[in-house]
Structure 1
Amino acid sequence: MKYIINIVLLLIINHSYSQTIKGKVLDSISQQPLELVNITLMTKNKGVYSNNNGSYSFEISNHLYDTLKVSSIGYNSKYIVLSQYKNQINVKLDIKLSEKITELDEVVIDFKKKKYNKKHTIGEDKVGNAGVSSLIGYETCVLLNNPLEKKGKLKNFYIKFKKRNNAVFTASLNIKFYSYDTKNKKPGYELYTKNLVVKPKNKKYTLNINLKDMDIFMPEEGMCIGIEFIDPNNESKKYDVIGPMYRFTYATEENLTWSKYRGKEWKKGIVKFDYKNDNRTGNVMIGADVLFTNE
């Protein structure tokens, strides 16, 4: 009986020291709530999303010597040192993010409206049925080279998926578009600064997304398209098997794929094969129809 009482007391004590940080993420100018903002620990791959009201809640009792990174497409990231809250049980904190300001190179304005009507299909589209899974919060990004080396306009793009038979949760997707940093050979600045969220099916198929009216342009050096597996309402559990799976092709010459977790640093590659000195990597099957001018 005494043993049982001790266990109950221990649980009560642990519960009483549970610490949570919660609040809203807001635009610093308009004060409007921001959804799908990533709130993540810097030293561990653990995080949450803000919901459609901008609200978030994160349990920090075991992470008081860590730092939270708060990031969203189109906004400057903010960092919160958690040790300042070690003597507080529940922390109420509204976080305000400022919009990114992109400095553009000097351009010559041409008032003649260009017609983009010459279509080229660009991307990985080889035969194969290999699949690779992902997790909530992970973004996979693929480089699409520009064969004409001139500015083009995206008409639509596709992602090839494979069914994950044992999936218990189907992720939503947040689609992102980046320039290609030719110096550092990785995704660069954002070309489109809004969330583009779609809900895929957990089956083998090609998901096509129409972008014709969105004015997303491919630079001369090509562009990178990122797909983040998201859970907008934070409904999935820690060990849930997530679907669907990406289909990918084997690559021996060039890696075109990167990945990152909730706005952290890009890491090269998504799949590497070490079996019997197999040095291949895997490039995810992503492609696009791009319109160019006839000039």
Structure 2
Amino acid sequence: MPLPWLEPLYQRLAQSYSQQRFHHAQLFNGDIGVGKRELVDMLADALLCSNAHNLIACGKCKSCQLNRANTHPDKRVVKAEGQTIGVDEVREITDFINHSSAQNGNKVVVLEHSHKMTTAAANALLKTLEEPSLNRYLLLTCEQLALLPATILSRCAVHEVKVNPSLAKKWLGEFNIPHYSWLELFVEQPMLIEHWYNEKQLDSIDSLYKFATELKDSDNFSALVEILSKDSTLINVFVLFLTEHLKEKLVLGMDFFSYQKAQQAIAEFLYNSSHVLGLNMSLAISKLAFSLRESQN
């Protein structure tokens, strides 16, 4: 069964499929951690299953066994290896779709992070979308809809994937996660919390939170540098904590000019972290701490 907050959307998809209104290109947009990948994997399994019921794979047929082993010849998963998805990867999709099905059924392509396609890649995909083939399905995920051309969007069935916080909290409760004051910030990204839990990163995230609230008063950033250098995806989390802490300061009486200066320093740190090759993280954090100190004096 789908994740509890995905059930309404999945039921609508199942209904459209049973009524033969299921679009050949389905695009799922939403934040990191809302369950987009879990959704498209479940859809792909069902579309390839020879005994699916209500768009739920049986789990027993040969196709399901192949899917479980990640060896199904009629399923292709494409995602960005670096910062972008290039035209060559998209041309492979077209080639894959145009060949006959190995199992004499549907063929499915999962295109993750479709917003990372280059202009040339998007144009190449457009040709495939404009000439849909029978029993061929494209399942796309996206985190920034605005980065996709209108021509792509107009040829897909676009779905916003959102999380019901109460259902997410109940689902997360099964993991017996310790209470952290920052968890509420990510309740609408439950799969992100699950990932941190499985990777035993929750204590590291908590350390980031503490550093964010005490950064301007700190002098030793070695532990912070180690955490961010080990996993660069946590830089955005750290910046979120900094921003939230700054908002609290504004509510408590921080003057707006100082608030703007601090926000500018955080934005500069975030930009440098993602755009400056070989960035000295220790130096960048020291500079950020100094700027925050200056803005709040």
- TM-score (norm: length of structure 1): 0.22
The structure carrying a bigger strand percent of its residues is 1
Q: Relative CO higher for 1 or 2, CA cutoff 8 Å, sep ≥ 6? A: 1
| Bigger share in helix | 2
TM-score (norm 2): 0.22
